[in-house]
Amino acid sequence: MLLTELLSPERVRIPFEATERDAVIRELVNLLAVDGGVTDADQVYRAVMEREAVLSTGIGHGVAIPHGKSPAATELSMAVGLTSTPVPFDALDGEPVRLVFLLVGPESAAGPHIKALSRISRLVREPSTRERLLSAESAEGFLDALREAEGA
């Protein structure tokens, strides 16, 4: 599975309108709700925030991967965005975040969910890939950079 298979230009927000963590997550959940990736945005938002309360999903290097499982997620879905200014996220390295991937799915998609989290983490660990994603100025530019990173 390629991450680009989970995304469309409508699921990429550059830049976010939101300027703080909870609102950024809400904005990404709403992107999924608009195109049918989730049936109940509030329920999915709560699931993601419950997971966030356990341990921050800010993985370091300005990247966060908030995620959760909910029956309101019809399938494994992803939305992503860039902030115009860094957002505090309680990241593991203490640094604020600019690149946020949201991943949600039903309980039945646990295996693909974990594989997607791992794939995101692996890709953004590479400094040149991270820089290309962070410098995208449009949804199409972001998707092109992600396709290139995935070798698709």
Active site residues: 67
- Phi/psi region, residue 149 (left: phi>0; alpha: psi -120 to 50; beta: rest), is alpha
First to last CA, the chain: 11
Residue 100: closest CA among 87, 112, 113: 87
Is-contact 102 28, C-beta < 8 A?
Answer: yes
Q: H or E segment at 78?
A: strand 77-87
